[in-house]
Amino acid sequence: MKTYKEVDVVLVGGGWTGGILGKEFSEAGMTVVCLERGGPHTADDFSVPRMRDELAVGQRMSMMVNTTDNTETVRNKSAETALPYRRLGSYLMGTGVGGASTHWNGHTWRWNDNDFQIRSKYEAKYGKQYIPADMTIQDWGITYAELEPYYDKFEKVAGISAKAGNVQGRKIVGGNVFEAPRRNEYPMPPLVYGYAGDLFAEAAGKMGYHPFPRPTANASVPYTNPDGVKFGECQYCGHCERFGCEANAKGGAQMTVIPAALRQSTFELRTYAWVTRVERDASGKKATGVTYTNTVTGEECFQPAKLVVLCAFGLNNVHLMMLSGIGEIYDPVSGKGLLGKNYCYQTGSAAMLFFEDKHFHPYMATAGIGAIMDDFHGNWDFDRAPFGFVGGSTVGTAMYGGRPIQWHPTPAGTPAWGSAWKQETAKWYDRSMNITATGTVMPFRGNYLDLDPTYRNRFGSPLMRMTFDYQDNERKISAHSADVINRIAAALNPTHLSKASARQSWSSVPYQSTHNTGGTIMGTHPGNSVTNKYGQVWQVDNLFIMGASLFPHNSAYNPTGPVAAIAYMAADIIKNVYVKQPGKLIHA
């Protein structure tokens, strides 16, 4: 085994959190090695026509993880036999420098105290009996006020385009009036709606709702961020999710924080470095570094470090903790153990509208195009009691791009193939729009992650097993959002309407979102969490975890905002407090 010289910090993963911490630590003079299991990206990788190859990139997932190397096994219930998730569908795991930020949609939200203090707020408003006995929600141990300056910092670094709805307590029509107070307006104005967004916003507004432009990391105008990184203006090319940005307009770690870190002599990025284990000393209470395999040469390596931070995709962080034997894996029968507990996903619903007399030009689009409303999630005045659920949903248009393989909507009753299908596809390609909802998922006793007893990855390690299904709470949320969608859709008087319906059970086959959360949850003490609010592992105080695996539940919002804000907050306390006096940052 090859052993390297000890460094101050080793980062596992080169996405948003690895890039943020790498930049912050190296600029503070700390020696940092960032290990990324995938390869690097060059400017040619995102160039035209290469990045417009919908078959290779959008359908064959050239920017995603190869599931023959590593994946999860999945099942809905513990009584079932889990099988490997080999064909990417429900969620898409990225690979390479920048991680999922190279091919994300860019949607960026500020989660607030409705999420961070979820149990306390629901018990205060609805009573303790309102929360189902097997729903394992808990407060996060963090507040919006603590994260606000870090949200602000990330929005400037990533180049978020949007319209604020609450600046220092002043509500602003046209933005999200249900958001928590922010100190500043967004760095750039919002992207244009597009025709579908205009129709949705008008109809929703007439019904008393509060539509606004979707916040997104797509530059609406040429922009230079605080680190001097120059963004191009979004070209509305229709190739965002699953694709890299040809115009350098979509904020990602590979073009912002990682290049800034690489300018520091104390930062080193190693690609094709697949970490297989976090190593500890004889006491088990101190991490000594990580073991990884160079996937090009096959050589096994050990990188010693004073501080280890797991910055991979959330599911991978949980898996690495399990393979390293750190913490007790959750047992849903006894309720013991915390590793793998509170795994969550997202729910939703969608309708497709067809118009004889309207043209939407879906090929002129971007990930953040369209209007959305937060009346049923961020709006704490919305009374959940009549519907009987915890959480909520956001509702809006989602016209991401009319790419020919993926976008061919037809009304109900259309043949699935043949000349009639071709005629209907040609007719409705430009005459269709959708309205979608994204809903919260709460943690339940029977939804969890553990190690599979049968299947193994390319290194011979057990795959992680996912046991997950929607519960009554999520079915109620989905039914409510479907009703809202259908009422707005009916107000637009389409020629044909494929109505939204409630999701009943989770399937791994159709894409839904890459918003997988939980498994190494944060909390207030070692009895209810794997880490404290800074991501510091209670059992091993020089081991930190970043990313959505920290989330005790999942919101209706996309997770990137708090993922980045928590990383910036953790970087600050590690630089300014932990380094001077290593040890527990919170005693509980």
Q: What is the DSSP letter of 576?
A: I
Nearest to 261 by CA among 157, 335, 170, 168: 157
For residues 47 and 365, give the distance between their C-alpha atoms in angstroms, rounded to a whole number: 18
Alpha helices in 358-431 (DSSP H): 419-428
Dihedral angle sign, alpha carbons of residues 13, 340, 572, 564: positive
How many whole angstroms separate alpha carbon 310 and alpha carbon 307? 10
How many Å apart are CA 451 and CA 456, to the nearest integer? 10
CA distances (Å), origin 530, targets 39, 402, 466, 533, 588: 30, 43, 18, 10, 12
CA distance 154 to 160: 9
| Annotated active-site residue in 107, 515, 525, 587 | 515
| Token pair belonging to 333 | 């029968």
Q: Cβ distance 293 to 302 under 8 Å? A: no
515 carries an active-site annotation: yes
Pair 415, 364: CB distance under 8 Å: no
The alpha helices in 69-175, defined as continuous H runs, are 113-116, 118-126, 144-158
Kind of pairing between the strands at 287-294 and 83-84: unpaired
User: Hunting for tokens 């860019």 — which residue is that?
Assistant: 106
Using DSSP bridges, classify how beta strands 166-167 and 170-171 pair: parallel, antiparallel or unpaired. antiparallel
Bridge pairing between strands 32-35 and 267-270: parallel
Q: Which residues are catalytic?
A: 515
